Structure 1
Amino acid sequence: MDAEDTGAAVAADGEAAGPGGQAGPGGPGEAEGMVAYDPAAPAPLGVVRGATGNAEVDARLERLSDVDHLTADGHIEVYEDVHRGLRETLTALDARPGPPAPPASPYDIRS
Structure 2
Amino acid sequence: MTGEGAGPHAPGPLPLGVARTPTGDPDVDAQLARLADADHLAASGHLEVYEDVHRGLRDALTALDRRPGPQAAPAPPAGPEDPASHDTRS
Is the structural similarity TM-score above 0.5?
A: yes
TM-score scaled by length of structure 2: 0.69
Identity of aligned residues (%): 57
* Aligned: 1:94 with 2:33: no
For residue 98 of structure 1, give the secondary structure of its aligned residue in structure 2. coil
Q: Residue 16 of structure 2 is aligned with which of 31, 37, 45?
A: 45
Unaligned runs of 5+ in 1: 9-15, 17-34
For residue 82 of structure 1, give the secondary structure of its aligned residue in structure 2. helix
Unaligned runs of 5+ in 2: 85-90
Q: Residue 46 of structure 2 is aligned with which of 75, 88, 91?
A: 75
Question: 2:9 matched to which residue of 1?
Answer: 36
Q: Residue 85 of structure 1 is aligned with which of 31, 48, 56?
A: 56
Runs of 4+ in 1 over 3 A off after TM superposition: none
Q: Larger relative contact order (C-alpha < 8 A, sep ≥ 6)? A: 2
Q: What amino acid does structure 2 have at the position aligned with 1:78?
A: V
The structure that is helix-richer by fraction is: 2
How far apart in 1 are the matches of 2:38 and 2:29? 16
For residue 45 of structure 1, give the secondary structure of its aligned residue in structure 2. coil
Question: 1:30 matched to which residue of 2?
Answer: none
- Indicate how the Cα distance of structure 1 residues 108 and 102 shifts in structure 2: closer, same or farther if over 3 A, else same: farther
Report the CA distance between 1:108 and its aligned residue: 8.2
How many residues get paired?
A: 78
